[in-house]
């Protein structure tokens, strides 16, 4: 991994295709996808508790001025956080739980979408002066988005399940490097192990490369307020999200986190594991996992999986059907 946290080079189409091809060659069972039922990636990401970390990941992404500016200039989903949640998870969950063909198609789709997300900073934010260029396919920006998803998934998982062992974390991180390849990130641009990964995350959070603009702050409040959706996050969820953010970003986003919020977060961490482990599989495990299990058995996704998919990805089935390797 490069020693500097500062912006680096762009991922070219040929770079992306080389990474995708390497992952394709290494896949043993195309129907099971790039990870498969025995992987840590399936074990962690199948849990509906993943939603606990979704707002944290989104806020940390908004703290990157390039991400917030790109959303402002290129997205129609600013006031629709649930629609943006669906847009993100359609891609990521297709990579994790889709067939090989679906995962490859999702990676190519993501790269193509990112080629159109470029522009100039509209104001001075953190280390980025007004008028400076940004590109979605830039390695340092992609690395930060990837990092927020990976760490937030572990935080969410360990809130309701026993803590992962060092070996389990090592296995999960190794698999996440494969996922990063679908984002366009080669292994040499990533930390070498879980400890190094956490060090990278903390260094980024303390650096001048992140900073919350006024527009990012408004987007963050829309997100935690459930703007554009009938789903209104409860106080304990917002408190848990705030607790998981560095104090710096709680302040920059203007989030309340008083003693009552701390108590709400602690109570949630107490009752969530007990309630969660009694959920039936239909609710506990997410739709894309149900769909993947059915696909491996040669069946179509059932009603339970399709209904769950509508919550997680906004549609009844994973995208990119019929891709090469669906077998």
Domain chopping of the chain, boundaries: 13-278
pTM over 0.85: yes
**In the beta sheet, which residues pair with residue 10?**
138
Give the separation between CA 19 and CA 36, rounded to whole angstroms: 19
Strands (E), the chain: 118-120, 133-135
Q: Quote the Cα angle for 271-273-279, to 5°.
A: 105
Q: How far apart are CA 11 and CA 9, in angstroms?
A: 7
- What six digits make up the tokens of 173? 């991180």
Which is it for the CA torsion 159, 161, 162, 163, positive or negative? negative
Task: Give pLDDT, residue 232.
Answer: 87
* Cα(150)–Cα(264) distance, integer angstroms: 25
Q: Do residues 7 and 140 make contact, with C-beta atoms less than 8 angstroms apart?
A: yes
Alpha-helix runs per DSSP H in 137-234: 139-160, 166-183, 194-206, 214-225
pLDDT for res 78: 57
The C-alpha atoms of residue 120 and residue 97 are separated, in whole angstroms, by 35
Q: Are 61 and 145 in contact (CB under 8 A)?
A: yes
CB 45 within 8 A of CB 157: no
DSSP, collapsed to helix, strand or coil, labels residue 273 as helix
Say how many C-beta atoms besides its own lie within 10 A of residue 234's C-beta.
12
Q: What is the mean pLDDT of each run of 10 residues along the chain (327 residues)?
A: 59 97 97 97 98 96 95 74 82 97 97 96 96 95 97 98 98 98 96 98 97 95 84 93 98 96 98 96 96 95 93 94 57
Is 52 within 8 Å of 237 (Cβ atoms)? yes
- Distance, in Å, from the CA atom of 95 to the CA atom of 111, rounded to the nearest integer, reads 13
| Per-residue model confidence (pLDDT) at position 75 | 78
Q: How far out from the chain centre does Cα 285 lie? A: 17
What is the separation of C-alpha 198 from the centre of its chain, rounded to a whole number of angstroms? Answer: 16
């Amino acid at each position: 991994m490069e020693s500097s946290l500062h912006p680096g080079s762009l991922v070219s189409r040929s770079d992306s295709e080389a990474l995708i091809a390497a992952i394709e060659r290494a896949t043993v069972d195309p129907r099971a996808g790039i990870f498969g039922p025995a992987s840590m990636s399936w074990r962690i990401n199948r849990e509906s508790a993943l939603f606990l970390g979704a707002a944290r990941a989104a806020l940390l992404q908004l703290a990157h001025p390039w991400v917030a500016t790109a959303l402002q200039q290129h997205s129609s989903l600013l006031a629709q956080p649930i629609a943006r949640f669906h847009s993100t998870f359609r891609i990521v969950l297709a990579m994790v739980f889709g067939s090989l063909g679906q995962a490859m198609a999702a990676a190519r789709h993501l790269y193509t979408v990112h080629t159109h997300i470029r522009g100039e900073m509209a104001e001075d934010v953190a280390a980025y002066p007004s008028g400076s260029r940004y590109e979605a396919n830039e390695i340092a920006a992609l690395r930060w988005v990837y990092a927020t998803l990976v760490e937030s998934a572990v935080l969410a998982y360990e809130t309701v399940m026993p803590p992962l062992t060092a070996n389990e974390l090592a296995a999960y991180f190794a698999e996440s490097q494969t996922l990063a390849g679908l984002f366009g990130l080669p292994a040499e641009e990533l930390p070498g192990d879980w400890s190094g990964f956490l060090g990278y995350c903390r260094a980024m959070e303390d650096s001048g490369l992140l900073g919350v603009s006024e527009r990012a702050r408004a987007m963050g409040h829309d997100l935690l307020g459930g703007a554009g959706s009938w789903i209104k996050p409860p106080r304990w969820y917002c408190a848990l999200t705030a607790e998981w953010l560095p104090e710096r970003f709680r302040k920059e986003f203007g989030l309340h986190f008083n003693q009552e919020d701390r108590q709400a977060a602690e109570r949630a961490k107490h009752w969530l594991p007990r309630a969660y482990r009694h959920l039936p599989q239909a609710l506990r495990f997410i739709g894309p996992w149900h769909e993947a299990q059915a696909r491996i058995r040669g069946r179509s996704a059932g009603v339970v999986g399709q209904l769950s998919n509508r919550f997680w990805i906004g549609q009844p089935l994973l995208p990119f059907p019929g891709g090469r390797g669906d077998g």
